[in-house]
Amino acid sequence: MGVPIRLSERRPEVSPDRLLSECVPPPRFADVRFGNYRPNPDEPSQAEILGVLGDRAEVLAEPRKEPTLWSRLRGSKSRGSRSRGSRSRPELEKAGIYLDGGFGVGKTHLLASLWHVSAGPKMYCTFVELTNLVGALGMRPAVAALSEYRLICIDEFELDDPGDTVLISRLLGQLVEAGVQLAATSNTLPDKLGEGRFQATDFLREIQGLASNFDVRRIDGPDYRHRGLPVAPEPWTDEQVEQVAAERAGASCDHFVDLYRQLAELHPSKYGALLDGVETVGIQDIRLLTDENVALRLVVLADRMYDRNIPLVASGVPLDQMFSPEMLKGGYRKKYLRAVSRLIALAREGATQPN
């Protein structure tokens, strides 16, 4: 019997260099490729997207032949010189491709596959990680660093507030001008981003500008993680969670309240580092969530756990009931459903792990 890790007692620090170095597909998607994506035969859009991405991959597999716009303009103080130096993109009609679809249809698998076959330099991150990176570096240094990439893949693209909208609109606009190719996944069409979360109509120009950079492709289908499976596993007891955490190497164990209070003290960019060395997450007494801020922090933690293939053992409210009915009707509904889908998948893994 060992002493479980207490996430609620950790105080991780993360440097900008670490944030940038970690911008690669997470362990769960390290080995995915187009060849091991299995389209649902009942959903033609899944097979169709393979062909579309295959064509794009052929272009992206070739190194960028010209220096980046940022490199050519480095040292220039004239805005006019930027315009004169800009170039068209001869290879692809749109600077990016945007995969829209529900949960568990393989969007992230496809996005990571595109990254794997593309020539470097290249970057892979979630939308939250991208905004965190810009916040850590500052806008101008971020544009300078990211303009050197051939391809930037952005998983779970979303706009939660006006600040994100303006920030990402400026960033991606400058990256596209520099010749960077983009690929993104989301549960929301680009021109619908922000709806139900803030007064998106006030930022329509920025949202439409973002949308214009992408070839939008819809992927239909049911969540593969739950096909023919129970909605959620039976919760453990508090005692069982504590015991499993003590018996498994690298396991953590925290009371739900202690954990979400800890998350409130940390910037979301540190949630990945919070899980360093953790091989199983144990959470006792999960409760019904009614506070939006607490819920959104837990969504980010769930994403980082899922990226890292960290099994979950949990007691309390069943995972498919942890978000209140009101939340599941609101503007963040898709985020919460994604978190439920991922947590249930991790809980099934946690139930099958040997102690």
Those residues of the chain that have pLDDT short of 50 are: 69-90, 190-191, 194-204, 228-229
Tell me what pLDDT residue 56 has. Answer: 92
Tell me what pLDDT residue 274 has. Answer: 96
Q: Which CATH architecture has domain 41-221?
A: 3-Layer(aba) Sandwich (3.40)
Tell me what pLDDT residue 105 has. Answer: 83
Tell me what pLDDT residue 70 has. Answer: 42
Tell me what pLDDT residue 87 has. Answer: 40
Alpha carbon distance 219, 48 (integer Å) = 9
Domain ranges for the chain, please list them.
7-14+225-352, 41-221
Alpha carbon distance 282, 251 (integer Å) = 7
Residue 1 has, within 13 A of its CA and on its CB side, a CA count of 3
- Is residue 260 within 8 Å of residue 231, measured between CB atoms? no
Exposed/middle/buried for 41, CB within 10 Å: 0-12, 13-18, 19+?
Answer: exposed
What would the two tokens of residue 267 be? 């910037």
CATH numeric code, 7-14+225-352 = 3.40.50
Tell me what pLDDT residue 75 has. Answer: 44
Q: What share of the chain is helix, strand, coil (3-state, %, to 5)?
A: 50, 15, 35
Phi, psi of 196 (to 5 degrees): 80, -5
Report H helices in the chain: 16-21, 44-60, 69-73, 79-85, 107-117, 127-137, 139-146, 162-177, 204-211, 238-247, 256-265, 271-274, 292-307, 333-352
* Residue 39 CA to its chain's centroid (Å): 22
Tell me what pLDDT residue 322 has. Answer: 94
Peptide bond into 121 cis (omega under 30): yes
* Residue 150 CA to its chain's centroid (Å): 20
Phi, psi of 14 (to 5 degrees): -130, 125
